[in-house]
Amino acid sequence: MVRFDIFFVFCLLVKTESKSNFRFNQNQRSGDCGWDSCNPTLPGKVNVHLVPHSHDDTGWLKTVDQYYYGAHQEVQRAGVQYIIESVIKELARDETKKFIQVETGFLWRWWESKDDFMRNLTLSLINSGQLQFAGGGWSMNDEATTHFLSIINNMEFGINWLKDNLGECSVPDVAWQIDPFGHSKEQARLFAEMGFKGLFFARIDYRDKAERKSLKELQMIWEGGEPGDLEQSIFTGVFDDHYSAPTGFCWDIICTDEPINDDPSLQEYNVDTKISEFVKTVEEKVKYYKDEQHIMFTMGDDFTYQNARQYYKNIDKLIKNMNSRTDETGIHVLYSTPSCYIKSLSEGKVEYPTKSDDFFPYASSADSYWTGFYSSRPSIKLLERRGMRDLTVSQQLEVASRGSGSSILFNMRRYLLHIKENVY
């Protein structure tokens, strides 16, 4: 089995230019995982792909350790071990449910503490396509101030760990960069060369997003190389708002939205109200996209699904009640993943616009430019550069000495790659 490594990426970077029209990458993984596991859509309807996810920063307001264990809740109510644990148990209850795991650095910690029963249960969910991976890097790297070798190292380390420990079905086929503050054409090129089917993110300049919404150009073919070089281009989708759930439909313990009360004998029965709100949201958002038969809703946010039972129970009610009125509303709702969403888009005949430059600079609103990280925190940037230099030398020495991978090098890479997301 060919491993994903730095040398493989370097070989890909010298590919010749392709002159054929862009087509979605149709390569599928072996077994029944991936695209074969997608829940069915309905032709002629607006299919709303609900994607349960949790964005778990590998260091932000708390340290990586504090985030994983849930320490210092007064700083931020976040404990990643509870997210992964409760999601796994919920997926096992219902084969239609889906979830995407993104940050490999947190999954590694959780996996190391589990017994054979929990590991085998997790593997069965991966092989069935219920638990899918997006991105797959050790962390979700910054794109503005990180050297390309560090980006490659981050992806190689995370994806190799997934493949070596969780099997072929765990290898991601969609890039997921939802939180970096601006996006680089070079990052798009690297993702295209790595074989990803698509790339999704949320943060672009607020004026650019408004214009793209009006022109239905939130989805595009991003040319990471020279114009017309389709082998270095990737289908790219920008969320019309943020990467959170639509307003009124977040149901984790850290959310404040009202749950769906489906008992008509109770005074606070609200199914009709919730359905009306959801239909209005779909009708508002679908007009921003060229393919109006498929739209993706990111059902999650920072550190959500700490109580996955609470979240999934309400999504189940939403799906049940929405689909009971499909003939009336023209809307069909399903559990999905970014891979399944791209599969549905690839079956259409929509032509997408192209983009050939960066998504920099990034401004979230007037007078709010996120460009300070180019010059801020110089000490941590220097630490990362020197650390990556020393790691590269150590890896070369290990290869020269025919070493098999030491725990020292593993931990060194782990420490360095936790800096990637927060180097700004």
Q: Which residues are marked as active site?
A: 179
Match 């087509």 to its residue by tokens.
23
Closest CA to 191 of 134, 243, 248, 122: 134
Give the list of residues 6+ apart from residue 409 with CB closer than 8 angstroms, or none: 391, 394, 395, 398
What is the rounded CA–CA span in Å between residue 292 and residue 36?
Answer: 23
Q: CB neighbours (10 Å) of residue 89?
A: 13
Closest CA to 50 of 336, 339, 343, 344: 336
CA 71 to chain centre: 25
Closest CA to 420 of 194, 174, 154: 154
Closest CA to 422 of 180, 116, 231: 180
What is the rounded CA–CA span in Å between residue 166 and residue 126?
Answer: 8
What is the rounded CA–CA span in Å between residue 14 and residue 207?
Answer: 35
Q: CB neighbours (10 Å) of residue 272?
A: 11
